[in-house]
Amino acid sequence: MKRFAALTMIFGLLAVIQAPLLAQDYAAAPAGDWNEPENHTIVVDRLMMYHDYGEYDREIQVVVDAARDYLSAVVNSAPQSDRLAAVFDIDETSLSNYPTMAECGFCSYAEQLKYYGNAIDPAIQPVLALYNFAKSKGFAVFFVTGRQEPLRPQTIANLTKAGYSGWADLIMQPKGATEPAGVFKPKDRKSIEDKGYRIVLNIGDQASDLSGCCAERGFKLPNPFYLVK
């Protein structure tokens, strides 16, 4: 009888241990007992604080200062025969989609186009200053973007309104293109190089903007808002 009672107690304990947590138990359960990700609202609040309290701007300025110093050093040492070039990404590099992203709770770029397709994005001012500095030193400046050809008129209008002018080329992707940025951007830079340019600087906000060939130095701006592979 004692043996039966002991076995009953053991099986009862095992049942309690193995039973799934009830909803009311989650609050008291130790961290690591489930795999719930951080709440989206908390993530959005953190992103907005990072942007609105100045850390984002500070980190951009650090990268741009280093890029400007590098351009200055190259200009002072490059042979006059070199056709120097600088390549700029557009979204979250030359232009900021932040007003739209914040309004839609950091929705995807495809959703932004769907609901805010006519939005005029402001320039990221330190990058605009770098762009103008490169032009003043004789660099040919190129935009290489994942935006597709149907957006060309809108993109040109937005860049112009934001203060960009005098670019050598705006290289966009064909309508319906599906290649990842890490594949098509090196190809686009190679097409610039094939025209006889020496691409000294390539600046973007994604690792995929900088991967692959054909730029002597890459400069990565911060972007915790979305990822492009």
Q: What gap in Å lies between CA 145 and CA 202, rounded to an integer?
A: 12
CATH number for the domain harbouring residue 83: 3.40.50.1000
Q: What three-state secondary structure class fits 153?
A: helix
pLDDT bucket at 43, cuts 50 / 70 / 90: very high
CA dihedral over 176, 100, 220, 201, signed as positive or negative: positive
In a domain, 29, yes or no: no
Lowest mean pLDDT among 33-47, 53-67, 78-92, 201-215: 33-47
Single pTM value for the model: 0.84
Q: What pLDDT does 32 receive?
A: 57
Taking Cα atoms as reference points, which of 139, 56, 62, 171 lies closest to residue 102?
56
> What is the signed CA dihedral for 51, 57, 60, 65, rounded to 10 degrees?
-170
In a domain, 226, yes or no: no
Q: What three-state secondary structure class fits 67?
A: helix
- The order of strands in the sheet holding 198-204 is 169-173, 140-148, 84-88, 198-204, 217-220
In a domain, 178, yes or no: yes
Distance separating the N- and C-terminal Cα atoms of the chain = 66
Count of domains for the chain: 1
Domain hosting 156: range is 40-220
Lowest mean pLDDT among 1-5, 112-116, 193-197: 1-5
